[in-house]
Amino acid sequence: MKKIFFATLCLLVAAIMNPQKAEAQSNVIDEVVWVVGDEPILKSDVEQARLEAITYRMRIDGDPYCTIPEQIAVRKLFLHQAAIDSVEVSDTEVMNKVDNQLEEFVSILGSREKVEEHFGMKWAQKREQLFENFKDEMMIAEVRRGLVKDIKVTPAMVRKHFKDVPQDSLPFVPTKVEVQIITREPLITPEEIERVKAQLRDYTERVNSGTSKFSTLALMYSEDGSAKDGGELGWTPRAQLATEFADAAFKLTDPNTVSKIVETEFGFHIIQLIEKRGDRINCRHILKKPKATEEAIMKAMADLDSIKAEIEKGLYTFDECTQFVSHDKDTRNNYGIMRYQDRETMDVYTKMEMKELPPEVAKQVAGMNVGDISKPFLMTDSKGKEVVAIVKLRDKVDGHRATMKDDYQIMQNVVQAKISEEKVDKWIRDKQKVTYVRINEDWRNCDFQYDGWIK
């Protein structure tokens, strides 16, 4: 009943937005609305894309029943070219994107069950659909890269592009900072570690005796973000897991057993196998993190306060202390300089916008001048542990309009993107001319981005 109601609601909304089109659509459950080459675009394809855009909070400009089928048609042009060029992509990379997307859907909708209900399909079906979608996207990206790979932007081209651009239309470069950090982990007592292990042993006994389900205990007690999914991590390559965790997980052969307690840099775990496929595994785990006492935290604060005083007296440099005093493995061998990795490009850089810093660090840096060292403060590190830290503002560039002298790379990227987009745009229009396209009469009344669809 819910699915019928939801489908009816979709049609009612569409009718309000576009009565003529909705009336034509309401007479059939599904139909071919476009044909590109020998590839059909179904009305259900358009509806599915529209629902995904709503779920993922993507903006759709204009009428979705015009914009979405055109976007699908453009994708089909690229995929046809990918087939001609024999483009291949890594299934492992595709699965990584699928898992990340599914996690995003769960975080938005609340649970796997709600994801299944929202999309009207089982989890495995959604996974398979996403796999095909992401594989297509990655092949399209390869075709696009091939089209623009030979574009070279010279300084003369950059100067020409920005010669007559008004000052307030130049790219704005946000404030960026370079920060060094020293952290100290408060001492964890053996008694606290034993308390955590005792809890995990109790959970294991309850699972083995059949009095509790592993997923229920994970939901109630795990201190990992996967707790909301009953501790399930989803399909994960071995290389993405902590070494100790991976060794224990891949040794499991029986989904009904629970691993021994495993210690990693994140804390202490117990693991339950779901399924293994080559170097990928899907498993559940429960994570417990030992807690430092207030006295241990104050001791770490006092230690860093003393180190700060010694640096300011000139007894040591901040650089020296990062190598011999800091507990932060990620920065210790890089003079404590914090780094940020872009999730899309995977590029790593040290000059960061304030929003790219951990919130506790950004709060400290906001009122500092270059060369200043903060007071000790408590923060959560990248492993989810509470640590005490001090930071030094190593460099700062205030927000400003881009200039050729200081921001040439940014301005070059703007020109590169513009020329690339123009070349791709021309390729699409040329491809339209030699591709068979048929659009149903009721789906033609649109202001398309590319006007060559209707011949």
- CA dist 14 and 53 (Å) reads 15
Q: Which of 11-20, 325-334, 386-395 has the lowest mean pLDDT?
A: 11-20
Note the pLDDT of residue 210. 93
- What pLDDT digit, counting tens, does each position of 164-173 carry? 888 888 999 9
Per-residue pLDDT averaged across 70-94, rounded? 92
Contact (Cβ atoms closer than 8 angstroms) between residue 289 and residue 384? yes
Alpha helices by DSSP H, listed for 154-293, are 155-162, 190-208, 214-221, 243-251
What CATH number is given for 190-288 in this structure?
3.10.50.40
Contact (Cβ atoms closer than 8 angstroms) between residue 259 and residue 271? yes
How does strand 32-36 pair with strand 437-439?
A: antiparallel
SS (H, E, C) 68-106: HHHHHHHHHHHHHHHHHCCCCCCHHHHHHHHHHHHHHHH
Note the pLDDT of residue 345. 67
- CA dist 205 and 209 (Å) reads 6
Report whether CATH 3.30.360.10 matches the domain 176-187+293-401: no
Note the pLDDT of residue 107. 77
Element (H, E) at 184: strand 176-184
Question: Which residues sit opposite 172 in a β-bridge?
Answer: 401
Note the pLDDT of residue 118. 86
SS3 of residue 192 by DSSP: helix
Q: What's the number of CA atoms in the CB half-sphere (13 Å) around residue 148? A: 18
Contact (Cβ atoms closer than 8 angstroms) between residue 3 and residue 34? no
- What pLDDT digit, counting tens, does each position of 125-172 carry? 988 989 998 999 999 999 999 999 999 999 999 999 888 888 888 999
- What pLDDT digit, counting tens, does each position of 272-314 carry? 999 998 888 999 999 999 999 999 999 999 999 999 999 999 9
Task: Answer yes or no: is pLDDT of 269 > 50.
Answer: yes
Average pLDDT, whole number, for the chain? Answer: 88
- CA dist 70 and 66 (Å) reads 6
Task: Answer yes or no: is pLDDT of 91 > 60.
Answer: yes
Task: Answer yes or no: is pLDDT of 24 > 50.
Answer: no
**Fold matches, 176-187+293-401 and 190-288:** yes
Task: Answer yes or no: is pLDDT of 349 > 90.
Answer: no
Q: Among the ranges 202-206, 343-347, 409-413, which has the highest mean pLDDT value?
A: 202-206
Cα dihedral 125, 131, 132, 133 in deg (nearest 10)? 100
Please, which pLDDT band fits residue 8 given cuts at 50, 70 and 90?
Answer: very low
Q: Which of 253-257, 331-335, 344-348 has the lowest mean pLDDT?
A: 344-348
For the chain, which residues make up each domain, given as ranges? 176-187+293-401, 190-288
Task: Answer yes or no: is pLDDT of 15 > 60.
Answer: no
Query: Could you tell me the CA-to-CA distances from 116 to 107, 113, 262, 315 in Å, in that order?
Result: 13, 5, 33, 61
Task: Answer yes or no: is pLDDT of 329 > 50.
Answer: yes
Task: Answer yes or no: is pLDDT of 54 > 90.
Answer: no
- What pLDDT digit, counting tens, does each position of 219-246 carry? 999 999 889 889 998 888 888 899 999 9
